[in-house]
Structure 1
């Protein structure tokens, strides 16, 4: 039997999320999470999906990422799915930042590792953790292809008119300042899934994808190719998010430094961790914000209105960029589950062909579905994202060439 399994690893600074998939039918064989790595209270949760077994949980110190991956390997072995299996074709790694260098999934060698490391200044919180996971996995299975799938890759097709900031070109080039975009695996997956939902090929469909989770981003996808996205040099730009401000006048930073006496690190923390919904109303959970609104909380209502106002602006902007829009797809935690957000985001945009059907929009489900009226000119879709499947699909396609 040829190898058909792919292990997907998403290594964070203190966690490792993983899924093992069989690419013959894209089925999930196992999934889990190791969190609080390096602490006494580390925890591993493992679910053997292939056998339908119950989730196993273990508590206790996990010293580092090497120990975490060894623990994952042991759990997989208990289910007959060990890393030493000849059925394992590749390990796919999520890597946040690929700069302009990596435009597609890439088999990892020492040169690739060095380039990912060179890109650390562009993603100082993420790329180091991604590298740790890669190095650990390579040490455990040096004979196995390891594939990097980059969050930024899908957005490298943006034209220079969308990717360039209007600052001095020499300065921008020297410091690699441009709009890279993020959540690329999600935008790629959802744009193609939306085309399938419409019964069309991706190259025949123009889609606005709204990835709305604690982090949030929008993209304009023309014929399967990204032509614009809301996040920029970092994931701070764009939509109002759970804890991030999104778009803001850059002079606010100068003002806070000169007048407010804040340091660069303090401003960084403010805009990334104390802004967005949590900065506006003290909550970054849309369910709690909606509960507060229903109870008459004006602060929560204003936060929601600001969130929706920004979202509408991007829908309108990307409608203009694309010229023709076939569908708008909502995805990720908020996009998939908050019917009020979907309804509010398109309210008043009927002249653009946008509307939701109240009954369809209220239905919850795990499958892609349309929530717009049957005769709507622009379809409104809810498409659950699947970044792990996207990473596995790209990795498998590469190693099977």
Structure 2
């Protein structure tokens, strides 16, 4: 039987999980625990094509991990034999340039990076500690969203602020969605022997959205910054704007700067402009019935995505590939079409029939035959990459430092 990893992605009130081997096959088991911290917390298991939901009697991360372990113990017929646990960690700062076997030093490093990801890193640490406690001697690996972007050069990752702020506090661009981008770069390289040495613009579009310029498999620029707020307009995030607006909002609304920042993170983007929803599917339905607010929100989203793609393209000598991934990127012909239309000056062409009829969840080329720039839909698979990193590090005998 193939080795399997328990892949865990902890949020402050949720925990996604999957049991995945290193192949492209679907997870053996997957699911999500939701509303953690509430007495209404639940966990959903998807196994053999069937979903089941149950209440959690411990309403925290420990309760979620305990329920996963109980499911495994109660279903010996599933044949689950875990070799390790792999944990998605949003922020690795400048400390982590690659995935790492978790020990006390790694945990401490993740906690220190929580200053830049206060909603994410503490939750990751909780999930790691609970998994370590409940799964005994099982080794665990941390896979960092930021590590793929450690190849950025100083002129790209530094902000034009006093250098002492970087030297003393490490304030700089870090970028995110790195696990997704690394998977996409590897997948692209697997399609043709030449593709791995070529240049690609990748748009990871979902409720969180960013773009990345990839040169011969390495990140050379990306849109997100010290936090995931910078860059594109997103589901509820504003993306980049004049920093002075933060003070204007605070003064106008009579609120603190932190409360103003919450507005930019939680009430803006598609949700703020449409005043309907942060969900692109809901907005496309409304737009199709003539809702002007929904149409404006989708137009702004596509416009800003195209601008960011054009911006990061300035760090490439040429463009051979444009790739769409993420929930919106993979599933919205409308958004893909609107973005590509705004990139015609770069030579991007779209086969509109291929774009419109592309099957959901499948890799597809959606540019005309013979086009200079190949346009792709490549579904991302962060869980698979985390499982692969976990099993590779464990099998290579990497020990905690």
Q: TM-score interval w.r.t. the shorter chain?
A: over 0.9
Q: Distance in 2 between matches of 1:297 and 1:58?
A: 38
Q: Does structure 1 retain, via aligned residues, the 8 Å contact 2:337–2:350?
A: yes
Secondary structure at 1:397 match in 2: helix
Determine which of 41, 64, 71 is the counterpart of 2:67.
Answer: 71
Partner of 1:220: 213
CA displacement 1:158-188 (0-9 Å, x = unmatched): 1111100000010232222100111111111
Q: Distance in 1 between matches of 2:375 and 2:315?
A: 18
Deviation at 1:294, TM superposition (A): 2.2
Q: Distance in 2 between matches of 1:192 and 1:205?
A: 12
Deviation at 1:256, TM superposition (A): 2.4
List aligned pairs for 1:255-270, cutoff 5 A.
Answer: 255-270=248-263
List aligned pairs for 1:99-118, cutoff 5 A.
Answer: 99-118=93-112
Task: Give the paired residue count.
Answer: 394
Q: Does structure 1 retain, via aligned residues, the 8 Å contact 2:188–2:196?
A: no
Deviation at 1:291, TM superposition (A): 2.3
Q: Distance in 1 between matches of 2:281 and 2:32?
A: 24
Partner of 2:230: 237
Determine which of 371, 384, 390 is the counterpart of 2:366.
Answer: 371
Q: Distance in 2 between matches of 1:202 and 1:135?
A: 40
1:250 aligns with 2:243: yes
Partner of 2:399: none
Partner of 1:209: 202
List aligned pairs for 1:111-190, cutoff 5 A.
Answer: 111-190=105-184
Q: Distance in 1 between matches of 2:306 and 2:199?
A: 18
Q: Does structure 2 retain, via aligned residues, the 8 Å contact 1:38–1:61?
A: no
Determine which of 381, 384, 389 is the counterpart of 2:384.
Answer: 389
Q: Does structure 2 retain, via aligned residues, the 8 Å contact 1:45–1:55?
A: yes
Unaligned runs of 5+ in 1: none
Deviation at 1:67, TM superposition (A): 2.0
Q: Distance in 2 between matches of 1:27 and 1:337?
A: 19
1:356 aligns with 2:355: no
TM-score under structure 1 length normalisation? 0.93
CA displacement 1:102-158 (0-9 Å, x = unmatched): 010100001111111111111100001000010011112342210000111111111
CA displacement 1:331-386 (0-9 Å, x = unmatched): 11110111011111011533422111111101223221101101111011001111
CA displacement 1:18-49 (0-9 Å, x = unmatched): 1111236654211111112232212111122x
Partner of 2:340: 346
Q: Over aligned residue pairs, what C-alpha RMSD do you find? A: 1.9
TM-score under structure 2 length normalisation? 0.93
Partner of 1:275: 268
Unaligned runs of 5+ in 2: 397-401
Secondary structure at 1:28 match in 2: coil
Q: Distance in 2 between matches of 1:123 and 1:342?
A: 30
1:59 aligns with 2:55: yes
Which sits farther off after the overlay, 124-133 or 134-143? Answer: 134-143
